[in-house]
Homo-oligomer: A and B are copies of this chain.
């Protein structure tokens, strides 16, 4: 895609970039451009004209200033683990890779905080923090960078207890389109001082600025964990169990849902007996063994009252990993079951009370298109994914139609087009429906902070 609004990258622009970040950190090689042309989704690829790897916040700012003056688009890039084309340079220009800004700047152990550069992958961060008994809680699965997680407000399995990325960040340094560097938020966990710019930049997908440093909230690594897997006759019974468990004050650390089709597949593939009913996977954290055990007793009582047809629970670490294996391997097993196909991964979220209606709608939609899809969801948060295999162009179009129907129904049910994957260009077309006139407010904020529209153009807002 080209756009008359943007200027092409010229030789003199490349020279200026090289002056700012060093020639060894600038590449127009086709191989590098291809490596930054698509994310982990099946969305179309787009080639940038040049890839740059700044090493400092000042260099990021310098690249933005240069691009802003030249009218060249800039798209920030972490590791490309996103699923809606979020960091794909749809208008060409510059891909600004944060890969070489991947250090820990400061550990504030007594404050349960760490300050990092944006290119640091979160699993690497947690490996380095482990000896301190602390961890960064959001866990999207793929080893995303901190900058990418914050830019897209990534979440994951443990969000029901620890919150999403937006809930686990205190302070950001951000480079604006015109090359200013600002600090937003505070290392104080409480702040009632002016507008919450921190959360304006979190989730803005690099369209308002580029995160150059982040101070994150950490949690103590839980001493003890328990696991529960339970199956139910109906989705409604499973969801009512979710409501009762949350209402019990037990504060689950994970509350995952697998639909009947997916349960059947997992049971076949792994010899795990999930049967062919909807299942819940739960995890609880505690400081004492007795607390864990009492929690499990309460959960068992709740599951029994909801007519659970299977119930397994453990506080033993080995057994826990075995019980959860089916959930952790859910995506991989689905992939293996469709070796010749790609997958579209749907991502909607609804109020928990609407979860059964959402699941029923998805089942009906899949049936209507004679499609197989596997549901897996963060039920504690009302977040639901459908793993949708497709092969040729025709089946891709069908999958796209299913996605469209599911998203519109989620919005209709008081939910959102995306619970944790972000908008990218994959979901931009749903924004008017979801936000109504609030989208105009987003638009004027975008125009105010990025008047030339150089920051990750083509994302969030439909053209």
In the complex, A198→B203 CA distance in Å?
12
Judged by a CB distance under 8 angstroms, whether A113 is at the interface is: yes
Q: Which of B190, B223, B349, B350 contacts A249 (CB 8 A)?
A: B223
Given A133-B247, A290-B290, A180-B437 contact (CB < 8 Å): yes
| Interface: A288 (CB within 8 A) | yes
- Does A340 make an interface contact (CB < 8 A)? no
Contact B188–A196 (Cβ < 8 Å): no
A142 is an interface residue with CB less than 8 A from chain B: no
CB–CB B166/A195 < 8 A: no
Is A192 a contact of B423 with CB atoms below 8 Å? Answer: yes
Interface residues as binary, A435-448 with B (CB distance below 8 Å gives 1, 0 otherwise): 11111011011101
- Do the beta carbons of A435 and B194 come within 8 Å of each other? yes
Contact A352 B133 (CB under 8 A): no
How distant is A264 from chain B, measured CB to nearest CB, in Å? 27
Q: Which listed residue, B193, B290, B438, touches A197 by the CB 8 Å rule?
A: B438
Q: Given contacts A112-B246, A249-B287, A415-B188, are A193 and B381 in contact (CB under 8 A)? A: no
Q: Are A182 and B448 in contact (CB under 8 A)?
A: no
Chain B residues with CB under 8 A of A191: 153, 349, 416, 418-419
Q: Collect the chain B residues with CB atoms within 8 Å of residue A55's CB.
A: none
Query: Does the CB pair A351–B111 fall under 8 Å?
Result: yes
**A243 close to B415 (CB less than 8 A):** no
Any chain B CB within 8 A of the CB of A294?
Answer: yes
Other than A182-B441, A192-B416, give 9 A-B pairs with Cβ distance below 8 A.
A153-B192, A166-B196, A183-B435, A187-B415, A188-B351, A190-B382, A194-B442, A288-B294, A444-B448
For the complex of A and B, the 7 pairs showing the least CB-CB separation, nearest first, are: A199-B199, A190-B419, A188-B349, A110-B353, A182-B438, A188-B415, A196-B199
- Selected A-B contacts with CB under 8 Å, 13 pairs: A112-B247, A155-B190, A182-B441, A188-B350, A188-B351, A191-B416, A193-B422, A193-B431, A194-B203, A194-B439, A197-B438, A249-B285, A288-B291
